[in-house]
Amino acid sequence: MGTPVRVLHVVVNMNRGGAETLIMNLYRNIDRSKVQFDFLTCKEGVFDSEIKAMGGKIYRIPYVSDVGHRRYVRELNQFFYRHSDYQIVHSHLDKMSGLVLRAAKEAGIPNRIAHSHNTSSEGGKIATLYKWYVGLLIDKNANHLFACSQLAARWLYASKSRSSTIIKNGIEFEKFSFSKEIRKQIRKELDISNKTFVLGHVGRFAKQKNHHFLIEVFSDFVKLKKDSLLLLAGDGPLRSELERKVKNLQLEKNVKFIGIRSDIHHVLQAFDVFVFPSFHEGLPVTLIEAQAAGLTCFISNNITTEIDLGMKLIHQLSLKDKSSWVDHLIAFSEKSTSRYQSPLVFTLKGYNILQSARQLEENYLRMGGEKNEEINHLHPNVQ
């Protein structure tokens, strides 16, 4: 076989965010003799060394928030003019993909993918208005529309959402299967008693994830269940603000900030329940992972119902009723539940990473002009 089809993924950086984690899961499981990933980023990321080890190239240009609209557009135009030999550009910047794909189209790149990972834009009024404006460019410049969920597709593509391709946020579910031994090991490492009831959260400390609400719920919860702990994995711009909130509420002994972890599949074993009160999400990978770990999840009703894999682990609650969250969590903390789940569910529901990787591979090979014989070697059951 000849050289692999090279796909340029466009992201801000390759850190441990939901979309970036998915991209790396796909990269590790795709046939790299047929498809190779390269990356256009704006900042260094924790996955950079692994990307290079797997044969990927990483290019860097400054981001719009650092250099402004005009220079960012100029940088994009210059980059794609120099790298117009790419057959496929796959942008993960939600509405900002409009600028990326316009530059790619003007450079003559034939396949331009917009990929929606969310259901709302981040930032204040000016940032939201700007993103809305550049998002209008997607319609004319993307010729392939991908999304992680139907809700994410409707948000970014509106009337064209029905023609989009859903790439499910598949995971390596075996890694997340519940293990009593790993649970004991992580709890010992984090100095958590076996008897302590642990509420857990994994996510970037940003407005979208609604940590302020989470901490307030926990503040009421711990008054009723003294031996409990809130374990927060992640980092982000609001971390110091949230640490101050914890201190002001005198919760320092009951809240642990453990930062960004490379072993989330192990950290999840230490949780007793997963709490996820986001204002908006596309289809969060971390909730798929939590279900694989057998965790009951209390989540906001702003999140798509597509996240529920039918294992009776997802409970959606309104952000308008804080006391309801406390009541549900207290009631759950008094139950005894099994953490063991059937791995078959993830394949049947399409959240096996091998399915997602093969589906993407098939799409790339078709775009890259591979012969039909190549595509026929792919897994026949992947839709």
In this structure, the answer to whether residues 36 and 88 fall within a common structural domain is yes
Is residue 262 classed exposed, middle or buried when 0-12, 13-18 and 19+ CB atoms within 10 A define those classes?
A: exposed
- The better pLDDT of the pair 372, 2 is held by 2
**Token pair for 138:** 């997607």
What was the pLDDT predicted at 193? 97
Among 46-60, 104-118, 365-379, where is mean pLDDT lowest? 365-379
Residue 381 reports pLDDT greater than 70? no
Q: Which structural domain range is residue 28 located in?
A: 5-170+352-376
Extract the runs of DSSP E, i.e. beta strands, from 272-369: 273-276, 297-300, 314-317
Return the pLDDT at 273. Answer: 98
Please report the pLDDT score of residue 379 as a whole number: 40
* pLDDT 10s digits, 56-72: 999 999 999 999 999 99
pLDDT single digits (tens) 273-300:
999 999 999 999 999 999 999 999 999 9
Residue 303 lies in a domain: yes
Bridge partner residues of 228 (DSSP): 197
Whether residue 377 is predicted with pLDDT greater than 60 in this model: the reply is: no
Residue 41: inside a domain: yes
The answer to the question of residue 347 being in a domain is no
Alpha-carbon separation of residue 344 from 22, 78, 292, 383 (angstroms):
20, 47, 11, 17
Does residue 339 fall inside a structural domain?
no
pLDDT band for 356, please (50, 70, 90 cuts).
very high
Question: Are 69 and 147 in the same domain?
Answer: yes
In the predicted structure, residue 130 carries a pLDDT above the cut 70: yes
What's this model's pTM, rounded to 2 decimal places? 0.88
Mean pLDDT (the chain) is: 93
| Side chain identity, residue 58 | I
Domain assignment present for 381: no
Residues 352 and 342: beta-carbon distance below 8 Å:
no
Are 182 and 263 in the same domain? Answer: yes
Q: Is residue 338 part of a domain?
A: no
Instruction: Please choose, from the candidates 18, 269, 15, the residue with its C-alpha nearest in 3D space to the C-alpha of residue 149.
Output: 18
> Would you state the pLDDT for residue 1?
55
Shared-domain flag, residues 70 and 211? no
Q: Are residues 162 and 48 in the same domain?
A: yes
From first CA to last CA, the distance across the chain in angstroms is 25
pLDDT of residue 121 exceeding 90, the answer is no
Q: Are 288 and 149 members of one domain?
A: no
Let me know whether 223 and 306 are in one domain. yes
State whether 157 and 9 are in the same domain.
Answer: yes
| Cβ neighbour number for residue 292 with a 10 Å cutoff | 26
Please give the structure tokens belonging to residue 60. 């860097």
Q: Is residue 345 part of a domain?
A: no
The DSSP code for 4 is P
Same domain, 233 and 117: no
Tens of pLDDT, residues 71-113: 999 999 999 999 999 999 999 999 999 999 999 999 999 999 9
In this structure, is residue 283 part of a structural domain? yes
> For residue 16, what pLDDT is reported?
87
Asked whether residue 19 falls in the same domain as residue 137, the answer is yes
* pLDDT above 90 (res 309): yes
Separation of alpha carbons 16 and 45, rounded Å: 8
Is residue 152 located within the same domain as residue 201?
no
- Residue 207 and residue 156 share a domain: no
> pLDDT tens across 169-202, in order?
999 999 999 999 999 999 999 999 999 999 999 9
How many structural domains is the chain composed of? Answer: 2
* Residue 373: pLDDT over 50: no
Which CATH number do you get for residue 223?
A: 3.40.50.2000
